[in-house]
Structure formats: C-alpha cells, structure tokens
A and B are shown apart, each in its own frame.
Chain A
C-alpha cells in the first residue's frame, strides 16, 4: 500500500479531458500470418542490490582507516584504502549515492513530508559522522571517493597563508547552508549538480562538468585537496564533529621531540605548532575580547537572519517555478515565444498563471524562513570563527588539528619517534 501512496504522490493531479487517452490500443489488429507480437523489454536496474554491500564496505573501510590511523599508524594501509575507495566507490560504483550528496537527501526527508529517503542514503550520511565523533575524519582519509582522487594527485603542494586559508574556510559552511536550503525547499541538489569528479569517475558526462573536474584536479596538483578544504559541505560538518572526537590520530606515538619533520609532511597545513613562550597573549585583554565576541554571537546571528530574509527573493529564483512565475509576470510577451519550451509547456498544461503564482508564493515563503535560518547559521559560523582566534589553548607539541586533519597518516611516516 505504501508504494501505491507514493505513486499517487508521484502522479499529481493532471487534467484529463478525454479518457480515450488512457485506452488500450483498440481494436487489436488480427494477424493472419504467424506473427507474434513482441513485448517491450524491461532491463533490470543495474547494481541496486549492491546498495547493502556498499554500506557494508563503507563500514569496513571506515573501521580499517581508524585502525590504520590510530593503532597501526600505517600510511601505506591508508594509501591502499584510498586507492580501493577510488576504484570501488568511484570507478566501479560510479559515485552515486555518495556521503557528500546524502546531506541533501537527509535535508529533503527532514523538510518534505512526502519524500522518502532510502535507508542506505541515511546510513551513508550517518556512518562517517559517527566515526568522526570517535576517531576523527577517517572518512576523508580514505573512504571518500571525492577525496581519494584528489589525494592521489597531490604533486607539489604550496603553503597557503593562514589568513587566506581561514577566509576560504568559510566557503564550505556557506555551501552547506545553501545546499540544505535548496534541498529542503525541493529546488535542486546543488552538491550533485556541481560534483566535480563524478564525470571523471564515470568517464562520461556533460562537457562542462568534465572541465570542472579537470580544473579541480589541476588545482589539486599545487593545492592539496582543494575541493575538500575549500568547498566540501560535508567536510564542514566533519570539521565540527571531529573537534569533539574521542580519539584521534596522533602525530607522535609516545613523546614529541619537536623535530618539526611532520609539518613539512602535511600538505594540508593541518598540524598546529606548539606555542612560543612569548606569544602567550595577555590574559586580561584576551578574556575581554572573548566576552566581546561572546556578546557578538547573537548580534551576528540576528544580522545574518536579517540579511538572509532580505535575500530570500533572490535565492528563491533558483526554483524553476518561482523563476517561471516571475518571468511570466515581468515579460508577458514571452507567452508568444513559441520556441520557449518551458513557457509553452506551462501554457499547454492548462494550469492558470494564478495557480503558478500561488505555488511560487508558497515556495518563496519557505525560502523566507529557510534563508533567515541560513543567515543566522552563517552569522554563528563567523562569530565562532572569530572566537576561535582568541581562545587560547596551551600546546607544547606538534599536534594534528582535529578539525582540519584528514587522518591521511602522511605525518606518521615522518615522525622519527619509535
């Protein structure tokens, strides 16, 4: 009965003017020669039964990566898993569904009462987050096919100045917010649309996306994992989760001898230096700044919400119905454009402009709420990023930054401590 409901939802009210349309071919021609009528073939979907296997393999890869990163301290093991993920999740399974994209399925399932998410998509979303709460970003280390292809193509990584890194580090949160907003309002899945590597994994795809993938990979020769660091919306989530991980890869096995070797090994600049004695800030001004930034949180969130709600009209233009409604109101002469497929299809559907506008208004209202929340979220992110500048944690050793470290284990090979 459940699928029946889904069908009913999937086939919404269409105006039926004549039931003849639905009729079986009539009358059937009578053949007098020995002719048997063929039936249309219906090839089985490829690899759907593999979904269960995919989840299982993801679980195994995540567990092995955690073990290699924390217990076994083996870069080679992780490298092997990276290659495996690129081959299995990427080239063999062609990249769908992936953990990064599953954010949108979860957001849509959360917001849309009619959307049904498959268990596998939900598990793909949850498993890496749960692992990151215990072992850090082991998903990024070896399981993510998007990360794997970039990781394998790091050639001459350059260092990026901290100010630029931190500024660009805001993009993933923005991307995450927009992706959730557009998914939850049923507009589109932007993460999937601009997934740069899927065309390469499939070795087939729209030219534009292939070029995008090649551009990212070329960039990745010099900036290690550019997509992961400055775009990936799931990485933004993992960054937060991983900060609170129970255990995490440690650069040194027993005691840091301050040799600095590990810092040259990390292509992501994810290793924090120990504090220099003199750099210790004045506690008094620092705590004053801290209180100031704390007070800034609600201010920035409110400001963000205000800006968000102001920009909802602009953001909602991404929804095809909203765009079409606006277009038909502002340019009614386009109705005569017989070549415009979208407008002609709408006119032929028998739906009135009023209905379209009313539907667009409902969507826009959703955007109003959504973009206010998005604005507040981004305000919070900015405030917390600013606070991160003044929170002082005493560090005596070279240690991986739990938020930024991908658990790729390169540094482990460099550490001379036995």
Chain B
C-alpha cells in the first residue's frame, strides 16, 4: 500500500481519537450534561387555576429548630407538639408556655377541658397550662397513634398500627373500637399504606375518618357503623393523589373539610359531600415532593398548617 495513503489514514485516525476524547471530556461537564430523558414530572398538575385559590398566606412563625409533630387549635390558643415539648402560643405566634414531654409525641388535640397528646401507643392528658394530669393505659407494641379528635364526652384516637379507631371517655376509659369494615363481607377496613391516618369530629358532632388507601372520607357512628362516605382518587385538583391521601385533615365550622396531601403537597377545602370548594395552598407553595402539613382550624375559619420541612407554622386566611 502506498505510504502516503497510509500516513493520511493514520492522520485521520489520530484526529478521530483526539476528537472523541475531547468531545467526551467536554460533554460530561456538569453544565453540558444532557437533561434526564426519563424525567418523572407532575408539573402539569402543579399549576392551579388562580381563581380557585381563595386563601392567602398571612403570617408564618417558628419556635426554633426542633422537629415539629402536630398542632391543635382551641380556646383561642395554638397547641403545638414538637420533639419532646408542648408549646402553647397565641394565634399570632407569641409563645405563652412550654413544657417538656417524656418522649416524642405524635399528635395533639385540645378543647376547653384540656389537652390530649398522643404518644406512640398511649395518650396523656394535660391541663390547659401544660401540666400532666394523667397518662392513659398503653395500647401495646404495634399501636401507632396518628391522630386524636375530641367530642363533648369522648376522645377518639386513630391507631394506624392496628388500623382501628378507638373511643375513650374523657377520663381515659376505653369504651370501644372499630376497624371500619363497610360490611361483613369486607376483607379489610381501613387501608393504611403509610403511617398517616386522620380523623375529626365536626361541629355537628359527626365523626369523620380518612380512609387514606381508598382516598375516602367516611362518616361513622360513634359505635363504628358506616353512615356514608365519599372518595375521589385523582392527580387533578379535585381529587386526592398518590397511594394514600389525604394525610391530614381538619373540619371548618361549616362542616367542610380542609385536606393536606403528601407527595404533591397541596391544601384544599372540600364540601362535606366531597366537591372541591377552594384551594388554600397550591403545590407551588411547598418545596418539591414531601410531607403533608398537619392542619388546625380556628373558629373564625383561619387555617394553620404545620410545615414539617421549614419547621414553621404557616397561617392561611380567606382573601379579602
């Protein structure tokens, strides 16, 4: 073969080799790398029709860097439990009292009768100044209490571990429990794929329980008989997204529900019959896909959301 031809082939090859290496080095720099071709995006569901957003964020406050656990509103006071403390403050965020708790709390409820704090498997009763009155009987190892609700003469507790609702007298006597089977043929009652299980008693004295795995709100008699339910699984704004939502809820004085979803975090208001009424905070108000905020509602209808990521309380009020 012609020597000149060989040399020109070799030169071309040398150029190719250098070009390949240079291209590889340059294209792998952090600002030159390609976008993710397999991106999982829920962005299309994140933008919310602004006319639906009827609330605005008015104030935020925080009490330091501890992990927050739960929040309740009663007696014109906010009762906040964080990792090993109970904090009592005004609705504007002025701290009035702080008392230490024996272990990490999980949920809280309050009324004019006192404060009830759920720990992993037992409930403790505190007076309104935050002093321990008594701790109730523990419920066993697999119990995990996730929510409490108060009615004039009863305390209801949601036990996510054993998938049941417990009913106590206000002095701590356990009266009964139910597992939410809709009829006797049902294999399962409450479906709880992750430790979120909320319940509430509205101003008409009705007990509502979230069945998160079914994306359902279920209305039970105090004895545990299903009286009615509605469910709506959807990524769109009128339903509940993901495997198990809403993660938290609260009831407004008119009986409608404030709901908070995890995953694509959003806070909405649904009528007692299920229709979407308004959006309180769209997904854009929260960072990424994360935990659902715990909720509390004042008699005036202000919504208090506990943002676990930012470790602060965010207050939403009706737009004027």
Contacts and interface: CB of A to CB of B under 8 A. Distances in A.
Nearest to B159: A27
B144 A26 contact: yes
B161 A27 contact: yes
Give chain A's interface residue range (CB within 8 Å of chain B).
Answer: 35 or more
A106 to B, nearest CB: 24
B194 A26 contact: yes
B144 A18 contact: no
Interface residues of B, number: 38
Interface string A210-230: 011001101100110000000
B187 A32 contact: yes
B193 A324 contact: no
B195 A342 contact: no
A27 B160 contact: yes
A219 B7 CA distance: 10
Contacts of A341: 33, 35-36
A285 interface: no
Given A26-B144, A30-B188, A223-B10, A17 B33 contact: no
Contacts of A340: 30-31, 33
B14 interface: yes
A382 B23 CA distance: 29
Contacts of B13: 215, 218-219
B67 A17 contact: yes
Nearest to B187: A32
Given A27-B142, A27-B161, A208 B20 contact: yes
Interface in B278-320: 288, 291, 308-309
Contacts of A26: 144, 160-161, 194-195
A9 B90 CA distance: 46
B192 interface: yes
Is chain A's binding surface mostly helix, strand, loop or mixed? helix
Interface in B115-173: 142, 144, 160-163
Candidate in A27, A211, A323, A342 with the most chain B CB atoms within 10 angstroms: A27
Nearest to B142: A27
B17 interface: yes
A324 B30 contact: yes
Interface of A: 17-18, 20, 23, 25-27, 29-30, 32, 156, 158, 193-194, 208, 211-212, 215-216, 218-219, 222-223, 320, 323-324, 327, 331, 334, 339-343, 348
11 contacts: A18-B291, A26-B144, A156-B6, A158-B7, A208-B23, A215-B16, A215-B17, A219-B10, A219-B13, A323-B29, A334-B31
Given A23-B195, A25-B194, A324-B30, 8 more contacts: A26-B144, A27-B161, A29-B193, A30-B188, A156-B6, A212-B20, A215-B17, A320-B30
